Chains A and B, each alone.
Chain A
Amino acid sequence: MKKSWLALALTGAMTLGLLAGCGGGDKPAVGSGDGKGSVYYLNFKPEQDKDWQALAQTYTEKTGVPVTVVTAASGQYETTLMAEIGKSEAPTMFQVNGPVGLNNWKDYCYDLTGSKVLGELTSEDFTLKNGDEVAGIGYVIETYGLITNTKLLEQAGYKTSDIQSFADLKKVAEDITARKDELGFAAFTSAGMDGSSDWRFKTHLANLPIYFEYQADGIGSTEAIKGSFLDNYRQMWDLYINNATCDPKDLSAKTGDDAVAEFVNGEAVFYQNGTWAYGDVKSLGDDSLAMIPLYVGAGDEAKQGLCTGTENYWCVNKNAKAEDIQATLDFMYWCVTSDEGTTSMASDMGFVIPFKAAKESENLFVKQDAELTAAGKTPVSWNFTTMPSEEWKNVLGSALTAYAADQTDANWAAVVSAFVDNWAAEYKLANG
């Protein structure tokens, strides 16, 4: 009998151990209990995790309001958000990437109309609307274009000012390709179609034909794209893949890191990417870097600027406790108005923020964008946020890769179909 009691005790201990293992977990420490509320920010950008943690700590020290910042792993934001927002201690502050992302989360977005932070925005254009409600606030403006190694361009006998149109770009690129062996470098970095890089073309480059079509038709979104400027898309894509560091057949396996490495090692003059890539390429030195507009041979090229916009919108969780919502709004306001906040966002995170108190960023490409705009160029807006779904982009990416490997008209027709027909089909699927 004694033995069975021992066994019973052991079993009990094991059961407890098991249950203890289930408890715990990595729940963020939230809740201050003194009515001040708390903030839980689910951050999207892994590059800035450290800076957000530091900023959150500063805020807590100053105000006593606990701020938890959790950063989702790269490419895992939606899944992380889906899991986190179902918990009892859900994020009070999260982000969506534009109208398509909002579709998922609109039932969770607090209406920011009338909030103090909204009043700090420099333009209404940076809000994300859900009907009449303001569901999100763009908190960082980004710019992309053709990052250029000006030293190499000079070696080839050109200056950035020589490139004012698609025709100029084509001339320069094809001249470099013709003298590739003599010069020792190519015109373009590899247009990798691996998942780490294909968004540069299926999303960012694809923005241009969409932008010009929207401009021509005077619209801001559409349920069925016409593809009026797809020939421009094709000639730009042809230029990229046939004047690059690698055989177009190998593009499907080329990654984003490959392109960065080629650019930094001086193997190519041009690299299509944005302000966020400044950290990757700044080792070349500011005097040998420039960002020029993506000319595709459409619209008024003399006035075309860089592609500037945002796909990062802050949202506040409407289901959070009232005091937590207030704490979150206060935190957002502090981030974009206080000296600590704006300094951290400009210098440490390298952001250009669309708020009145913004500090100047030290990012070279950001400065060049400002210069171009000051010189009277019109920035190309980010219309890719209106692409109907992630699936649409993926199908387009597959078609582009297939076309790159075998550049026939039939394969281009598949790209056109992925662009035009699939837009209508996906729009219908997404919007019922």
Chain B
Amino acid sequence: MERALKRWSPLFILPTFLAFAIGFIYPFVEGAYLSLCQFTTVRDAKFIGFGNYIRAFGDSQFLDSFWFTVAFTVVSVALINVIAFLFALMLTKNLKGTNIFRTVFFMPNLIGGIVLGYIWQILINCVLSLVGKPLLALNATAGYWGLIILMCWQQIGYMMIIYIAGLQAVPDDLTEAAQIDGATPLQTLLRVKLPMVMPSITICTFLTLTNGFKLFDQNLALTAGEPNHATEMLAYNIYNTFYARSGPQWKGMGQAKAVLFCILVVAISMLQLKATRSREVQQ
């Protein structure tokens, strides 16, 4: 049986591998090549070397959007994970109606980012107009916090489900043993439950971190980078370089930014995975 599996496994991997190659590997390699070219459409690319990268680094808006993205990601990762974990704790307490609440908290995740962005834009603009503050298009601070609120609202439910699964997998005999040994509920949480749900934390920080860096739809719909690119995140900056600019010199530069962006996201998530994985404990 084992031998048969080994012999046939390439065949079983083939369909997925083909899809992966067509949908990921090929575009990635071509994208990396195009970042070294000047082009209007992908068929008439002319190789020009590293000029696009030099210009991408020289673009102050790209750097600004990088820092804006970092500020957004740090705050949103912290808020989403802490709040989601607290919700998960509350909803694993065998209270009445937990299933309803789990469903309700999860629901925002089912709505697409563009729709959410426009809905929150209307909501936030109404509030800003009521308190007499400049509307979103003129108010970078409101844009920043608007994005954070939106992302929290959308993602907390999803992360909560992962944490709930993690908390439910903590064996009862462990918590009981802790109680018998005289641990307070807080000690049980910090010393027993938290180390046990470390795999969930790894997954959730990974998801929120990469989601934060890659954020595009919500950014486009909620603020569209207004005022004057002040709330433009990396992915949206790349999109604007590629599509909002006219002339072949911008396409390769957008592509170069995209490659840099990819390397950055991969590097950061690798570091994060290494950091949280090392804290996971074996049962």
Residues of A whose CB lies within 8 Å of any CB of B are 4, 7-8, 11, 14-15, 18-19, 22, 78-79, 82, 85-86, 100-101, 103-105, 107-108, 193-195, 249-250, 252-253, 389-391, 394-395, 398-399, 401-402, 405-406, 430, 432
The interface residues of chain A lying within 8 Å CB-to-CB of B40 are: 82, 104-105, 107-108
Least CB distance from B28 to A in Å reads 17
- In the complex, are the beta carbons of A253 and B137 less than 8 A apart? yes
Please provide the chain B residues from 25 to 53 with a CB less than 8 Å away from any CB of chain A in the complex.
40-44
Determine if A390 and B244 form an interchain contact, defined as CB atoms under 8 angstroms apart.
yes
Q: Give residues of chain B (200-228) contacting chain A, Cβ–Cβ below 8 Å.
A: 224, 226-228
Pairwise interchain contact A82-B41, C-beta atoms closer than 8 A: yes
Cβ-defined contact, B246 with A430, below 8 A: yes
Are the CB atoms of A103 and B135 closer together than 8 Å? no
Whole-angstrom CA separation of A252 from B12 in the bound complex: 55
Apart from A19-B18, A253-B137, what 16 extra A-B contacts exist at CB < 8 Å? A7-B8, A18-B15, A78-B243, A85-B41, A103-B246, A249-B135, A250-B129, A252-B137, A389-B246, A390-B244, A391-B244, A395-B228, A398-B137, A398-B228, A401-B137, A405-B135
A-B contact pairs, 8 of them (CB 8 A): A8-B8, A78-B243, A86-B41, A100-B246, A107-B40, A252-B136, A391-B244, A398-B226
A4 & B4 in contact (Cβ 8 Å cutoff): yes
Say what secondary structure dominates the interface of chain A: helix
Is B247 an interface residue when CB atoms closer than 8 A count as contact?
A: yes
Cα A193 to Cα B14 in complex, Å, equals 52
Set of chain A residues within 8 Å of B43, measured between Cβ atoms? 86
Are B228 and A252 in contact, with the CB atoms below 8 A?
A: no
B138 at interface (Cβ–Cβ under 8 A)? yes
CA distance A85 to B11 in the complex (A): 37
- Complex: how many Å from CA A92 to CA B245? 24
Chain B residues, CB < 8 A from A22: 22
B19 and A18 contacting across the interface, CB-CB below 8 Å: yes
Given A86-B43, A104-B248, A430-B247 in contact, is the A253-B18 Cβ separation under 8 Å?
no
Q: Does B134 contact A (CB under 8 A)?
A: yes
Question: Within the complex, which residue of A8, A14, A78 is in contact with B15, where a contact is CB–CB below 8 Å?
Answer: A14
A100 to B129 alpha-carbon distance, docked (Å): 38
A15 touching B15 in the complex, CB below 8 Å, given contacts A104-B40, A253-B137, A390-B244:
yes
Whether B249 is near chain A, meaning CB under 8 Å from some CB there, is yes
Q: Which residue of chain A has the shortest Cβ distance to B44 in the bound complex?
A: A107
Q: In the complex, A218 Cα to B43 Cα: how many Å?
A: 42
Q: Are B247's CB and A11's CB within 8 A?
A: no
- Interchain CB contact under 8 A, A11 and B12: yes
B12 proximity list for chain A (CB < 8 A): 11
A interface footprint on B5-24 (CB within 8 Å = 1, 0 otherwise): 00010011011001100100
From A14, A104, A249, contact of B134 by CB (8 A): A249
- Bound complex: CA A213 to CA B29 (Å): 49
Identify which of B4, B14, B226, B246 contacts A11 (C-beta below 8 A): B14
A residues near B8, Cβ cutoff 8 Å = 4, 7-8
Q: Which residues of B contact A107 (CB under 8 A)?
A: 40, 44
Check B226–A250 contact: CB distance below 8 A: no
Instruction: Please report the C-alpha to C-alpha distance between residue A402 and residue B244 in the assembled complex, in whole angstroms.
Output: 22
B226 proximity list for chain A (CB < 8 A): 252, 398
B125 within 8 A of A: yes
Q: Residue among B12, B22, B40 with the most chain A CB within 10 A? A: B40
CA distance A252 to B143 in the complex (A): 13
B138 partner residues in chain A, CB cutoff 8 A: 252, 401-402, 405
**B248 and A250 contact, CB distance less than 8 A:** no
Interface contact A193-B137, CB-CB below 8 Å: yes
Residues of A within 8 A of B14 (CB): 11, 15
Chain B residues, Cβ within 8 Å of A402 = 138, 227
CA distance A401 to B136 in the complex (A): 11
CA distance A399 to B137 in the complex (A): 11
Q: Which residues of B contact A194 (CB under 8 A)?
A: 137
In whole angstroms, how far apart are the Cα atoms of A373 and B243 in the complex? 39
Quick check: A104 and B22 within 8 Å, CB to CB?
A: no
The listed residue (B4, B11, B22, B247) touching A103 by CB distance below 8 A is B247
With A and B bound together, what is the CA distance between A253 and B138 in angstroms?
10
- Chain B residues with CB under 8 A of A7: 8
Interchain CA distance A395-B229 in the complex, whole Å: 9
Separation of A180 and B175 alpha carbons in the complex (Å): 72
Q: Are A250 and B247 within 8 A (Cβ)?
A: no
CA distance A20 to B135 in the complex (A): 49
> Which single residue of chain A is at the shortest CB-CB distance from B15?
A15
Q: Would B129 and A104 count as touching, CB distance under 8 A?
A: no
Closest to B122 in A: A253
Q: Is the CB of B15 within 8 A of A390?
A: no
The residue of chain A having its C-beta at the shortest distance from the C-beta of B14 within the complex is: A15
Q: Verify A405–B134 contact, CB threshold 8 A.
A: yes
Assess whether A253 is in contact with B135, with CB atoms less than 8 Å apart.
yes
The residue in chain A whose Cβ has the minimal distance to the Cβ of B41 is: A86
5 closest A-B pairs by beta carbon, nearest first, are A252-B137, A86-B41, A398-B228, A252-B135, A104-B246
Q: How near does chain A come to B242, taking the closest CB pair, in angstroms?
A: 9
CB atoms of A249 and B244 under 8 A apart: no
Q: Is B15 touching A195 in the complex (CB atoms < 8 A)?
A: no
Q: Nearest CB to that of B224 among chain A residues? A: A195
Q: Which residues does chain A contribute within 8 Å of B135, judged by CB atoms?
A: 249-250, 252-253, 405
- Interface residues as binary, B117-142 with A (CB distance below 8 Å gives 1, 0 otherwise): 00001000100010000111110000
CB A364 to nearest CB in B, in angstroms, measures: 34
With both chains docked as a complex, state the minimum distance between the C-beta of B104 and any C-beta of chain A, in angstroms.
29
Instruction: Find the B residue at minimum CB distance from A78.
Output: B243
- Say how far A250's CB is from chain B's closest CB, in angstroms: 6
CA gap between A211 and B162 in the complex, in Å? 61
* Min CB gap A381→B, angstroms: 21
| Complex Cα spacing A93 to B42, Å | 19
B247/A104 in contact, CB under 8 A: yes
Least CB distance, B110 to chain A, in whole angstroms: 25
* Chain A residues within 8 Å of B248, by CB: 104
Which B residues are in CB contact (< 8 Å) with A395?
Answer: 228
Nearest chain B CB to A339 CB, angstrom units: 38
